[in-house]
Amino acid sequence: MTCNPFSKKASPAVRRYTKGIALTMSGYVFTVFGTSFYVHAHHPTGFMLYTLSAFPAFCIFAMLWVVIRYLRDEKDEYLRLLVVRSLLCSIFTILGLGAFMDFLRSYGNLQALPPFTEFVVFWMIFGFAQAFQSMGGSTDE
């Protein structure tokens, strides 16, 4: 089995995962830009503001569901292991970064990270971990 989604040997789970991530990531980008434009142009408040803020979050949940579905459907245990390791690297990084920034804000009265930083860093680390592992960078003891 191969993890390359463009290979004819790619598993059905890999192809579904690739399509799902592409769709949900596109939805996320469109909802972030669309809701940001609307909020800055119309300045909604109350329920409307909460509702608009929830749209991009739904896309994030959908992306995570795509990953969960992939882990459920992928038959190759090694490919599942690579994704789980990448998720753990991303979670570790985000929790560590969040704790570090919280302490900096607490002790030094610093500002919070820019919006969407955690989301972007999470998926960047996930991608880097996937690439590193596919280059043979992971070692099993």
Q: Residues 88, 139: one domain?
A: yes
pLDDT of residue 17: 93
Q: Residues 81, 135: one domain?
A: yes
SS3 content of the chain, % helix, strand, coil (to 5): 75, 0, 20
Which of the two residues, 116 and 33, has the higher pLDDT score? 33
pLDDT of residue 11: 86
Considering the domain boundaries, does residue 80 fall inside one? yes
Q: For the chain, give the percent of residues with pLDDT over 70.
A: 91
SS3 130: helix
pLDDT of residue 87: 95
Q: Residues 117, 86: one domain?
A: yes
pLDDT digits (tens, 9 = 90+) for 82-114: 999 999 999 999 999 989 888 888 888 788 778
Q: Residues 98, 59: one domain?
A: no
Reported for 23-30, long-range contacts at CB under 8 A and 24+ positions apart, including other chains, are: 24/59, 24/62, 24/63, 24/66, 25/59, 25/63, 27/59, 27/62, 28/56, 28/59, 28/60, 28/63
Which of the two residues, 68 and 6, has the higher pLDDT score? 68
Domain extent at residue 29: 11-75
